[in-house]
Structure 1
Amino acid sequence: MRKLCILVTLVIIKISAFGQIEKPVKWSYAAKKINANEAVVYFKATINKGWHVYSLNSKDGGPVKTGFTFKAMPGYKLLGNATEPTPITHFEKSFGMNVSYFENTVIFQQKIKLKTATVTVKGTLEYMACNDKKCLPPEDVDFVIPVK
């Protein structure tokens, strides 16, 4: 009986070790007013070593590009599209095409027009993380960013 309990315990430990969810990207948010009528919302991805996330401008047929969906709110209006720094671009065999991505950290920005003095920007971001061995399924992350 004792051997059976030890065997069951070892099997459970082994299964739980393989079942851990990988989270190679951590997101943080901030906002800064430019003036009384405009602000910039920042989305910072901190990416574990060896992993990367893809550009906002990835081509169709490749990896899932990073994207932002903003909830319509009465206190602000989007000005243009989200922007990004210059990505790394190279050919990836797994996709059979040139892809653009970011490693370590990246800060995406979205300019907004303020209709009220304080607003809360809400929405969802989608991204996909890959390393040189695998890609994780695309993930949606909800965000809530106060602009004061």
Structure 2
Amino acid sequence: MKKINLLIALVLFTVTGAFAQVFKPVQWSVATKKVNAKEAVVLIKANVEQGWHIYGLNVPSGGPIATSFTFTPDNGAKVSGKVAAKEPKSKYEDVFKMNVPYYNGEVIFQQKVALANGKPTKVKGVATFMACDKERCLPPDEYEFTVTIK
């Protein structure tokens, strides 16, 4: 009897898992560009699947989770200024009762880094974002990265 119950439970979990969908509508990549001996730029690219979007960097209070970044450079380097990106699109969303900025397709976020010395500098970072389509919004997610400026 125990074996039959175990078999039924195993079959149920297998069937349930087969129908579950995992959505990963945003693919991230990171690169650097050295401007000169004292400055570099970290480039964080988001490729958002067609039909999906992520929210802008500056979302009004009461709106969805804005895309945001944290950076931790080493070797005495410091983040310089704010994250820059192209101007987001904007649309009215009934759920939030406001216009919200968003990105779809490909968007590149840029963060300047002031370098402290000639040594390679590692920059650890986290992108926090929320992806939505016409039918659903996924819970906020994070993309962690480490990149070396040489």
For structure 1, the 5+ residue unaligned runs are 1-6
Residue of structure 2 equivalent to 1:52: 53
Residue of structure 2 equivalent to 1:33: 34
Percent identity over paired residues: 43
Paired with 2:46 and 2:35, the residues of 1 have a C-alpha distance of: 22
Residue of structure 1 equivalent to 2:140: 138
SS at match of 1:17: helix
**Is this contact kept in 1: 2:54–2:102, CA < 8 A?**
yes
User: Taking structure 1 as the reference length, what is the TM-score of the superposition?
Assistant: 0.89
**Is this contact kept in 1: 2:28–2:46, CA < 8 A?**
yes
Amino acid at match of 1:138: P
Amino acid at match of 2:106: T
Residue of structure 1 equivalent to 2:4: none
Paired with 1:106 and 1:72, the residues of 2 have a C-alpha distance of: 23
Paired with 1:31 and 1:8, the residues of 2 have a C-alpha distance of: 50
Residue of structure 2 equivalent to 1:3: none
Paired with 2:100 and 2:121, the residues of 1 have a C-alpha distance of: 36
Amino acid at match of 1:132: K
User: Taking structure 2 as the reference length, what is the TM-score of the superposition?
Assistant: 0.87
SS at match of 1:34: strand
Paired with 2:51 and 2:104, the residues of 1 have a C-alpha distance of: 8
Residue of structure 1 equivalent to 2:22: 21
Paired with 1:22 and 1:91, the residues of 2 have a C-alpha distance of: 24
Query: 1:72 and 1:145, CA in 2 relative to 1: closer, same or farther beyond 3 A?
Result: closer
Equivalenced residues, count: 145
Shift in Å, 1:18: 3.3
Residue of structure 1 equivalent to 2:69: 68
SS at match of 2:58: coil
**Is this contact kept in 1: 2:73–2:122, CA < 8 A?**
no
Shift in Å, 1:12: 4.3
Residue of structure 2 equivalent to 1:97: 98
Provide, for residues 82-133 of structure 1, a one-character-per-residue CA deviation record: whole Å limited to 9, x for no partner: 0110111010112111000001110000011111222111021100000011
For structure 2, the 5+ residue unaligned runs are 1-7
Residue of structure 2 equivalent to 1:123: 125
- Over aligned residues, Cα RMSD in angstroms? 2.0
For structure 1, which segment, 29-38 or 111-120, has the greater mean C-alpha deviation from structure 2 after superposition? 111-120
